[in-house]
Copies of this chain bind each other. A is one copy, B any other.
Amino acid sequence: MNGRQSDDGNDRPGQGPSVTARALWESSAGKRTQLLSDAERARLAVIASVVRFKAGTKIFGAGERADAVYNIISGAVKTYRTLPDGAERIAAFLFADDLLGLVEEGKYMNSARAVNSVTAYRIPVPALEARLKNDPSLEFHVICKLCHELREAQRHAFLLGRRGALGKITMFLQMLEQYQSARGDSVAELYMPMNRSDIGAYVGISPEAVSRSFRILADRGLVAFRDRRHVKIVAHAGFDKLASEDNGA
């Protein structure tokens, strides 16, 4: 279906869980590096099982007892919370090599749903806890990954703080670009697995405003759409300037 998820080279299936992040202290030009050693991945593989979720499937719900964390192999996942009135707020989009299943007092903090078709490692919490207890190196790598996720969450908050819809969407595309770049994928074209409503729920505007902003960007010649899910940033100069200004002029 979607052969674009990286089944290439460095994380072929069977090697066990894969976790990547931007470096904490080394400088790596924005690229992500594999945190786990082959040995660690093998040891985690022992306690993990591979699970699949069809597009739109719920993975877990906010408030449920947290039995396991997940490590995405391929596909995209959204974590979200539903408001009393039924509206949805998306906390994060997660992709291959990400960890999933933030816990508070034994319960999941958010709900999680497959955007794509998703395959992931499911790692039971008790086994993971035991593994961590006698694997200091693994613990350190988890720290690195959590720092990475914390930075992403702060970037998201930064995005949400922006005033204009245009600026939010521009920054959203920038984040997608940085993500694909960090993975080593091509940046010639951006792929958006999620729909307009999800984008709106992530950047804090209505789906209609998402559409309008995309149209404005296209009309100004800053981006070009191949279809609804594929964009190319045409004029990086003007695009990045727009992304750094607060107002969405």
Contacts and interface: CB of A to CB of B under 8 A. Distances in A.
Contacts of A143: 132, 139, 142-143, 146
A89 B153 contact: no
Contact of A204 (B109, B147, B161): B161
Q: Specify the main secondary structure of chain A where it touches its partner.
A: mixed
A224 interface: no
A166 to B, nearest CB: 15
Contacts of A139: 136, 139-140, 143
A84 B244 contact: yes
Given A147-B103, A153-B153, A91 B158 contact: yes
A211 interface: no
Interface stretch (A20-28, A113-121, A228-236): A20-28
A110 interface: yes
Interface of A: 22-28, 30, 66, 81, 83-85, 87, 89, 91-92, 102-106, 109-110, 125, 129, 132-134, 136, 139-140, 142-143, 146-147, 149-151, 153-154, 156-158, 160-161, 201, 204, 244-246
7 contacts: A30-B105, A85-B246, A91-B158, A139-B143, A146-B147, A153-B153, A153-B154
